[in-house]
Structure 1
């Protein structure tokens, strides 16, 4: 089920379910649906810093984590240092305070140390806060550097959700022991992919976690349980509810971009109009960025900024006489601020791109697509064969589109 971003904002406004569609016209790296935009660009499109002011309240620890929890070969016992952070600022005591555990997702744990549901509610419940970094992200990298680990087919095999859940179980038991908190109940939290992990952790380790809060967790977006165009339908609805003219301008803009790009100097014209820091190599780069911007605005459409309104006010408030792309650029500037140039690669760190590409090319096959008339975006139906062929060519292994529902359950998750 896909919940309206405005409803999601009431729970965990900083969590994002964001996908780049799987379209055969896009460049290979953009063929993979993505979850979770992280970092200051997503949280603050204009660049204002609201990074967690009390980060100093957290102490950093490292756990010597087991590489392979499920086999007993000699190499399974290799260790790597997994980072986790703990704040006892609001903790009442082991006898009366719970443990709120944030399960890291597809980025550095540093990106998640922002004001959120945990930090807001920790004082009320007297909770111990624990933030755990996901293996292969941030600095919790097994067997060398991230680049080396992801290039090695054998090493990549240890990079999956089941191993990550077992990591979290080990760390949480360690925290309970170190803080003499054997009787403290643990509630796990996460959003987007992290929300899936929270739900699955409660499913697989009910003796460790008393409960889980999984926000914007697309646990039913596998194996065709949910219509593939569901997410983009919701994003479109958010924009259309704010402004019909804004919705129409966006919908008409895609063909206009293609029309300009087809000219002999079209890419140069688009680069100048949108003030890109690097010259565009193809129209897909610009369209993917705008796709991302609209999705981010919808997913974070919460007070006080209401970014969908910001984008649409920019588009609708453009100077009289501006053409479609001029109006789109006005919305672009309203969202990002007036900069000398714009980096179209800023939404994702390389570690998120590289790591998430492997995860979605192996077990997390999320069939996100778009129909021809149901959204404000260009049609881009999900094609499992093209998807599988790309993953096979890139990694040498085919994706397993039915594994998540087999291992964790679909509608019957309990």
Structure 2
């Protein structure tokens, strides 16, 4: 997804860790990232690998201040960006794709709906990587002291300074700049137009969760509905399997069987509720990730697993030849492991704690895991808990999520809640007051629950696309796209065309 985001510990995160050793890209939020990976955010990192093929795009570097809000701090760093001038016509607009919680993927400089728009409108295309992700390293490490310079507000100032200086350097100061992004970068695109209207003429905020919230059980409620749309029995069977597993976890004599059933890397040991929560979230993540990115068109950017869809998972859960629902749940885990070439599944919370506590840029969570979790603790929350009866999983409540903020960054639950309230106060949550921002969302995507799905005003329209998932409208078009997805892309183009005449 161009930049689309993510969710936390669980198979997705583990796969990401595994892939990072091969130079894998984290996740590009619908734009170049997407998150929203297996961070408590936009779950996607794990499935994104380094793009193959002819996507050759020169890395460029821009000097940024470390702290935009402290005039006495003169420290600077180099931020990575990419540029495609092949469609630009003098006087044309400038498209600025915003990076998110993962490396910026240059594959997006050659493909995606924004490239189609740029070709038609004669736009210059720029993509700016988010500070603290990819190769954009503002500090020497990822210690909590260093991460205090990681925030959406600092990122917006990076965008503003980049737009100002690039405008001056290339004679584009008076050009019409359009911000684009998906998932967390989609939120940034909306907020960039909101906070810097003198610098941004219009924005396309795809799958943007604009409302910050501590507890986000609605995510799993949408997962239930999305599974049920394929087969009404599917989420019921998933719940039966999950409940069975929760029951087994209360009896240590079952641990050897669970270890074998799910091909765990080491014998299951449950010492605390955190251990069981991590296992349960990991297995639930198989369904969460597939629902979020169901039938998208990610192959061009190096994604693995795009062939695993809701239909495939529900087919496994309905296959009585595999045994009871618990056995089918295990079969889904095996399918996902085979897809990502994993010999075993690491569900050790202590290993996860070790990885997330590593503050080195070479650490196993440096691809985005440690950074994104920090942002959830200091700005957004977004914790996809099982604290709702209207969803198919059990065992990873809000307390499990919030505890990690204290464990990894010494941030209390009260501080998390206050930070989230400040985010909504600063940006407005659902009550955005601006103009020339379009908000595309998909009905299958769980993140639409925190986005704009109905027009706010004629100048703040929503494009709600039935049957599509996270950031679907950002991907390249293909013949099997739903008619409503094709119409949505065309509608967004017509809006841009109209706004660029204003």
- In the superposition, the TM-score normalised over structure 2's length comes to 0.65
Aligned residues of 2:3 and 2:100 also touching (Cα < 8 A): no
Calculate the aligned-residue CA RMSD, in Å: 3.2
- SS of 2:156's partner is helix
What is the alpha-carbon distance in structure 2 between the residues aligned to residue 382 and residue 262 of structure 1? Answer: 20
Q: Does 1:341 align with 2:340?
A: no
- SS of 1:378's partner is coil
1:359 corresponds to which residue? 375
Q: Does 1:159 align with 2:147?
A: no
Deviation at 1:276, TM superposition (A): 3.4
Deviation at 1:201, TM superposition (A): 0.7
2:389 corresponds to which residue? 373
- SS of 1:55's partner is coil
Aligned residues of 1:33 and 1:360 also touching (Cα < 8 A): no
- SS of 1:168's partner is helix
Deviation at 1:62, TM superposition (A): 0.9
Aligned residues of 1:223 and 1:405 also touching (Cα < 8 A): no
Deviation at 1:374, TM superposition (A): 0.8
2:321 corresponds to which residue? 319
Q: Does 1:143 align with 2:139?
A: yes
1:332 corresponds to which residue? 333
Deviation at 1:94, TM superposition (A): 3.0
Aligned residues of 1:248 and 1:376 also touching (Cα < 8 A): yes
2:488 corresponds to which residue? none
2:25 corresponds to which residue? none
Aligned residues of 1:232 and 1:370 also touching (Cα < 8 A): yes
Match of 1:171 among 158, 162, 166: 162
What is the alpha-carbon distance in structure 1 between the residues aligned to residue 112 and residue 337 of structure 2? Answer: 23
Aligned residues of 1:102 and 1:131 also touching (Cα < 8 A): yes
Q: Does 1:38 align with 2:44?
A: yes
Q: Does 1:244 align with 2:232?
A: yes
Aligned residues of 2:214 and 2:380 also touching (Cα < 8 A): no
- SS of 2:62's partner is strand
Q: Does 1:55 align with 2:55?
A: yes
For 1:1-55, what per-residue CA distance to the aligned partner results, in whole angstroms no more than 9, with x for missing partners? xxxxxxxxxxxx655454459xxxxxxxxxx97222334x436xxxxx7936442
5+ long unaligned stretches in structure 2 = 10-37, 270-274, 298-306, 357-363, 434-502
What is the alpha-carbon distance in structure 2 between the residues aligned to residue 128 and residue 106 of structure 1? Answer: 24
Q: Does 1:269 align with 2:288?
A: no
Aligned residues of 1:33 and 1:368 also touching (Cα < 8 A): no
What is the alpha-carbon distance in structure 2 between the residues aligned to residue 364 and residue 201 of structure 1? Answer: 17
Q: Does 1:124 align with 2:115?
A: no
Aligned residues of 2:58 and 2:82 also touching (Cα < 8 A): yes
What is the alpha-carbon distance in structure 2 between the residues aligned to residue 340 and residue 142 of structure 1? Answer: 33
Deviation at 1:133, TM superposition (A): 1.1
Change in 2 beyond 3 A, CA 1:366/1:94: same
Match of 1:109 among 101, 104, 107: 104
What is the alpha-carbon distance in structure 2 between the residues aligned to residue 50 and residue 135 of structure 1? Answer: 19
Q: Does 1:209 align with 2:178?
A: no
Aligned residues of 2:55 and 2:106 also touching (Cα < 8 A): no
Deviation at 1:82, TM superposition (A): 0.7
